[in-house]
Amino acid sequence: MEQLPKMSATELKDQVKDGKTMLFFTADWCPDCRFIKPAMPAIEAEYPDFKFMTVDRDENIDLAAELNVFGIPSFIAYSDGEEIGRLVNKDRKTKAEVEEFINSLTTNAD
């Protein structure tokens, strides 16, 4: 999974302008992030139409604030530069919950 470098929301628009992108907001110190991290390679393999990118919330604190991401782990999905969904809260997320979120995006897009 690619690591998103430090950037602003304006710069992010350029990163997500083509295709489908899933941002995974996380931090090393976050126990709920550590809980979902082992499942991420399987989730990434399951949804090859998405480019998954890890966003270090601490490194990108301004970006997280601009995007209203105040809880982690969180996910924001983009399609051709437009936000198509978000799973943003402070709750622990299971692999099944993340898959259900991504499935809801593909259902809505069809």
pLDDT digits (tens, 9 = 90+) for 80-110: 999 999 999 888 899 999 999 999 997 654 4
DSSP bridge partners of 97: none
Whole-prediction pTM value? 0.92
Residue 64, pLDDT above cutoff 80 = yes
Q: Are 73 and 24 in contact (CB under 8 A)?
A: yes
What is the reported pLDDT for 106?
A: 73
Enumerate the H helices of the chain as residue ranges.
Answer: 9-15, 31-36, 40-46, 61-66, 95-109
DSSP 3-state of 11: helix
pLDDT at 110 (0 to 100) = 45
- Strands 2-3 and 50-56, sheet pairing: parallel
Task: Show the domains of the chain with their CATH numbers.
Answer: 2-96 (3.40.30.10)
Distance of CA 43 to the CA centre of its chain: 12
Structural contact between residues 25 and 73, judged by C-beta atoms closer than 8 angstroms: yes
Query: Tens of pLDDT along 9-55?
Result: 999 999 999 999 999 999 999 999 999 999 999 999 999 999 999 99
Burial of 21 (0-12, 13-18, 19+ CB in 10 A): buried
Tally the residues of the chain.
Answer: 110
Residues tagged active-site: 30, 33
